[in-house]
Structure formats: structure tokens, C-alpha cells
A and B are shown apart, each in its own frame.
Chain A
Amino acid sequence: MASQIWWGAGVPGTLADVKIHPDGGVEVICGTQDIGCGTRTYMATIAAETLGLEPEDIIVKIGNSDYPWAPISGGSLTTPSVAPATRDAALKASGQLKQMAAEKLEISPEDIVLKEGKLVSKTNPDKSVTFTEIARSLRRETVFHGSRKGMPSEYAYNSFGAHFAEVEVDTLLGKIKVLKVVAVHDIGRVINRQTAESQVVGGITQGLGTALFERRIVDQNTGRLVNPNLRDYKIPTSLDMPEIVPLFIDKPDPYINNLGTKGLGEPPRIPISPAIANAVYNAIGVHLREIPMTPDKVLQALKQKEAV
């Protein structure tokens, strides 16, 4: 087992826009980027959920520096920056739409909920107006600006995680086989479970490779990197991967931002190598102090243990 503490609270001042067109079309716009962690997916989901629509109703525009400012993707800060800004813009949009619907339906805006493409009275569900109709009465495309607000004072902000590994060590050949990894992460609210689990599996794949196989080997006499290819620089194959169980505490952080969410970019990559190393220690009773833990190092360690 090994644990992890990382940043991932996001960057205050991140901006995002929600643009509503008179035909009912909705765009979510932010100068961020999707490096594979699902930025487009959660931007659409957050706007859709706030506006009572489906994610496929939302057009996401990112990857352009003309769009509202967002930080780089690094240090697990994209989601906790972009998601709260998107939520903020969508809340402002829903606020105005509720106001307009309230006048039309002659009820209080607090009595209105946005769901299934409609603005509906909570107390009298017969009273409703469609999202498209209200959008039409905006008469022109209307932009709502959102931002990720400041950090809570008097608190430290971190994400937490722990990985548990079960390994098998062949003491004759020195080979380590990772059988199962249980990965638990506390990142506040999980915005999208599927992409979050996928991020954990990806981090574990990378970290398992580093733990067991991957190393750049430089020849001391020529200064040449002797393994600059995927044959000699070995990444794990599907047969080397263990069963992976990703788990999340999934409890919104009440202070961090309006969604209570933190980043998950790097956390799953952090504790896996030491978790495997600790499991190996548990199995053979000797600590390996260097990664990758290749068979030669395992055999060496076992030999030293015998000598003691």
C-alpha cells in the first residue's frame, strides 16, 4: 500500500461562457483544452444538467486562445478550474431563464426547475414552458459569463489517494506479477465516473510500467541512449496488467469551489509504484530501493537477504 497527496484545486479566475441562441441552441465556450481527460464531456454534462437538457444538446467549444481564459493543463488543475467556471455561467443562464419563465407563467422564479427541456413549476407541474420557447423570447444570442472564484482562505487544498497492490514474486526467476490493484481516491465530487475510472486505469498502467519495466538506458562509454524504441524500452502489455478496482470517496468538498470537485490528472500515477514495491517487500521480506524492479534486481535483493 502507498498513499498520495497532490494539488488539484484549480486556478481562480478561470473563465467560461454559456451562449444561448434564440433557436434553443446552447454553446459552452472556454479557452481550455482536452488532453484526453474528458474536458468536452464534463463541460457538456455540467451545462446540460444545470439547464435541464441532455449533454448531446450542448455544443462545446474549446482549444482556441480567443475564447475566455483558462489555464494550461498540468498539475491536475483543468477540471477544478473549468468545471466550476462552466457551472457558474450555466447557473447565471438558468437564473435569467427562470426569471423570464416566472413572468410568463405568473409564478415565483424560486418555484421553477429546469428539467427535460422544460422550465416547470415545482408546486404545479402542469405549469411549464419549453426551453426553446424561453430561449426564443431572449430574441438574440445571449452570453452568460462564468468564472472560477477564489480559493477558500484558512484551508490547505489537496487531493488524496491510496493504492493497494497484490503481487506474486517468482523467487527463482525474479519476476514480479501484479495480480490486483485497488485504487481509492478522494477528489471531492466525481464529475464523470467513467472518465474518472479511465484516468485511474491509465495512471496505474503508466505507474506499473515504471515500477516493473520502463527505464531509459544510457551507455556510459558512448553517451548513447541504447533503448530508444518500444522494443527495448518496455511498456506493459495487456497481459502484464492486473485487475484494477478504482474507488472514489465521492463526497463534494464544501469549500473548494461551487462543484466541490478536485483534479484527478496525476494522482493515480503517484502511489502505484511504491504500492507495488511495498507489496513486494511484504512478499519477499526485502526492500527494493530502485525502480524498475526488474528480475535481476529482485534476485540480487534476495541474494543479499540470504547473505545477512
Chain B
Amino acid sequence: MKNFKIAQPSDFKQAAHLLAMEKSGFYPMAGGTDLLDEIKNGIISPEAVVDLSSIPNASFIQTEKNAVHIGALTLVNDLIESSLIETSYPVLHQAAHSLATPQLRNVGTVGGNLCQRPRCWYYRDPQILCWKKGGENCFAYAGKNKYHAIFGGEFCFIVHPSDLAPALICLDAEVLIATAEKEKKLKMADFYHLPQENRRGETILEPGELLKEIVLPLPKKEEKSIYLKIKERSTWDFQWSRRLLRENFPEKGSMIFGSF
């Protein structure tokens, strides 16, 4: 592991500015449960880590006039402990409860969970230069691909490991993205790219752009939702497959499939 610098910005503007300035080699870190793993395993070697946990007031669950706002640095465990999330957005509460372990949920953040890198074991092997890491081939295509995508693929067969992402898409959430100059809002459903659209990342975030907030529409009465996740063992496991159901009787319902 190479030595790296730590930057502790005091707001999102400063953080975004740092990340925009130095396009490669600067990595944002929230809880660090995924980033530190990647550094220690030799998947990435940052010049500097921009520690977002130094930003004050970035962890919150707040109800405003038309929406519920969740700060990107809110701990996953805070979602579990929030009675608002539990009663109004059961699909999100259940998704949060299903992921990782209590230790990881007490350190991992909502923003970090949405921006984590793929768990593909070829991507995670420092000795393998796969397509995702700038190489020629996807090793999963003809390799051990039990946990890989069965729809799509082409150049890369990763699936996104986030449990919260499909729940938020299901709830019609929006994301607030901060740059050094401005902020913009877009649909959670448009936050992710297919591998062929962005080789090095899974989200639409460009260098210098940061996920700042999740905005949930106010819960509707009579709405029901559920998060179903299939794991090989009973806990501390990534999903093999998941299914989300949201229904607003009697008008409409939506069902979302996630995978891994």
C-alpha cells in the first residue's frame, strides 16, 4: 500500500473543488468501509483521500414541506433507527436492515452505499486487469460467474451491490449532486450507468461531483412496500437476487428487480 494524503474539507464545495482539481488519484471517502478495502487489497492507490466525514451537518433525516431529505453521510444504521423511515418507507427500512452487519451499518453511510464499487471477484482481484480496470476482457464471461449479471452484459457483467439503490428507485427518490459551483437534482433512476456507458464508474458522477442528499417524496397514504432479498446464508451476505414491491392501492403498483 502506497502512502497517501488525507484532505478534510469543511464543506461539499471545498470537497468538490479538490476532487475536480485533481482528476485522477483523489478519492472521496465517507464511511470508508469499501474504499479502505479497495486500498488495502491493492485495487486502487490514491494520491489523496478526501474525507467527507469532516463536513458538518451532512448527516440528517429531515422532513420538509414536500419531501424527506436524507444527508449523504447519514449512517445506514440511522435509517434503521428512524421511526419515520420505518413507518413511511418500509421498503427502504427493510433494505437497510438487510445489508452487511451491525458493525458495517454503524460506519457505512447512505451515500457510500449508493456509490460503492462492484463486488465482482475479478474486479476485486489485484492481479487481474479486467475490462472495468482498463484491461481488454471481462473474465466473468467465460469464468466463474455464479454471482454475475444474467441480463445485459456485453463488456462487463457486474451487478451493483447496493441494497438501498433499488429501494430508493422504487420510492421515486431524487439525488442532489454538488459541484464546486452549483447543485443539481436528478432522478435516482438516472443515477446509474450501464458498464458500457461509463467504463470506470457505475454512477453518472464526474470528477468533482459529489452525492450530497437523497430527496424522498412524502409518503402517500394507503401505500405499501416490501423488500425481499435472497441470500445464500442467513445474514452478512450480499444479495443473490432481490425483488421490491410498492403498491398504492388501488391506483398503481411497481415492482423492481435487483440482482447479484
What residue in chain B is nearest A296 (Cβ atoms)?
B146
Contact between chains at A237 and B142 (CB < 8 Å): no
Q: How far is the CB of A177 from chain B (nearest CB, A)?
A: 8
Inter-chain contacts of A13 with B (CB < 8 A): none
Among A217, A224, A294, A296, residue most surrounded by chain B Cβ atoms (within 10 Å): A224
Contact stretch, chosen from A2-10, A61-69, A226-234, A259-267: A226-234
The CA-CA distance from A239 to B121 in the complex, in Å, is: 25
The CA-CA distance from A296 to B145 in the complex, in Å, is: 13
Q: How far is the CB of B240 from chain A (nearest CB, A)?
A: 8
Residue B139 at the A interface, CB < 8 A?
yes
What residue in chain A is nearest B101 (Cβ atoms)?
A237
What residue in chain A is nearest B231 (Cβ atoms)?
A175
Contact of B233 among A217, A221, A234 (CB under 8 A): A234
The CA-CA distance from A296 to B236 in the complex, in Å, is: 20
Contact between chains at B232 and A239 (CB < 8 Å): no
Could you mark each residue 290-308 of chain A with 1 if its beta carbon is under 8 Å from any beta carbon of chain B, else 0? 0000111000000000000
Q: How far is the CB of B75 from chain A (nearest CB, A)?
A: 21
Contact stretch, chosen from B13-21, B61-69, B122-130: B122-130
Contact between chains at B122 and A226 (CB < 8 Å): yes
Residue B206 at the A interface, CB < 8 A?
no
Residue B197 at the A interface, CB < 8 A?
no
Contact between chains at A237 and B125 (CB < 8 Å): no
Q: How far is the CB of B41 from chain A (nearest CB, A)?
A: 8
Residue A110 at the B interface, CB < 8 A?
no
Inter-chain contacts of A239 with B (CB < 8 A): 233-235
Contact of B143 among A213, A220, A237, A240 (CB under 8 A): A220
Contact between chains at B143 and A219 (CB < 8 Å): yes
Could you mark each residue 165-198 of chain B with 1 if its beta carbon is under 8 Å from any beta carbon of chain A, else 0? 0000000000000000000000000000000000
Given A173-B230, A226-B125, A232-B121: A221 and B235 within 8 A (CB)?
no
Inter-chain contacts of B122 with A (CB < 8 A): 219, 226
A residues 203-245 touching B (CB-CB < 8 Å): 212-213, 217, 219-222, 224, 226-227, 231-232, 234, 236-240
Contact of A224 among B119, B125, B235 (CB under 8 A): B125
The CA-CA distance from A294 to B232 in the complex, in Å, is: 8
What residue in chain B is nearest A294 (Cβ atoms)?
B232
Contact between chains at B144 and A240 (CB < 8 Å): no
Inter-chain contacts of A294 with B (CB < 8 A): 232
A-B contact count (CB 8 A): 51
The CA-CA distance from A231 to B122 in the complex, in Å, is: 14
Contact between chains at B121 and A236 (CB < 8 Å): no
Residue B237 at the A interface, CB < 8 A?
yes
Contact of A226 among B144, B232, B233, B235 (CB under 8 A): B144
Contact between chains at B232 and A237 (CB < 8 Å): no
The CA-CA distance from A222 to B127 in the complex, in Å, is: 10
Given A224-B125, A232-B121: A213 and B234 within 8 A (CB)?
no
Could you mark each residue 218-237 of chain B with 1 if its beta carbon is under 8 Å from any beta carbon of chain A, else 0? 00000000000010111111
Q: How far is the CB of B232 from chain A (nearest CB, A)?
A: 6
The CA-CA distance from A232 to B127 in the complex, in Å, is: 17
Contact between chains at A234 and B139 (CB < 8 Å): no
The CA-CA distance from A231 to B234 in the complex, in Å, is: 13
Given A219-B139, A222-B143: A227 and B233 within 8 A (CB)?
no
Contact between chains at A236 and B232 (CB < 8 Å): no
Among B127, B146, B237, B238, residue most surrounded by chain A Cβ atoms (within 10 Å): B237
Q: How far is the CB of B128 from chain A (nearest CB, A)?
A: 6
What residue in chain B is nearest A224 (Cβ atoms)?
B125
Contact between chains at B139 and A221 (CB < 8 Å): yes
Contact between chains at A240 and B125 (CB < 8 Å): no
Given A224-B125, A224-B128: A237 and B144 within 8 A (CB)?
no
Given A221-B142, A221-B143, A226-B122: A237 and B235 within 8 A (CB)?
yes
Interchain residue pairs with CB less than 8 A apart (17):
A173-B230, A175-B230, A175-B232, A219-B139, A221-B142, A222-B128, A222-B143, A224-B125, A224-B128, A226-B125, A226-B143, A227-B121, A234-B232, A234-B233, A234-B237, A240-B235, A294-B232
Q: Nearest 3 pairs between A and B by C-beta?
A: A239-B234, A226-B121, A239-B235
Q: Which B positions have Cβ atoms within 8 angstroms of A?
A: 119, 121-122, 125, 127-128, 139, 142-144, 146, 230, 232-238, 240
Q: Which A positions have Cβ atoms within 8 angstroms of B?
A: 173, 175, 212-213, 217, 219-222, 224, 226-227, 231-232, 234, 236-240, 294-296
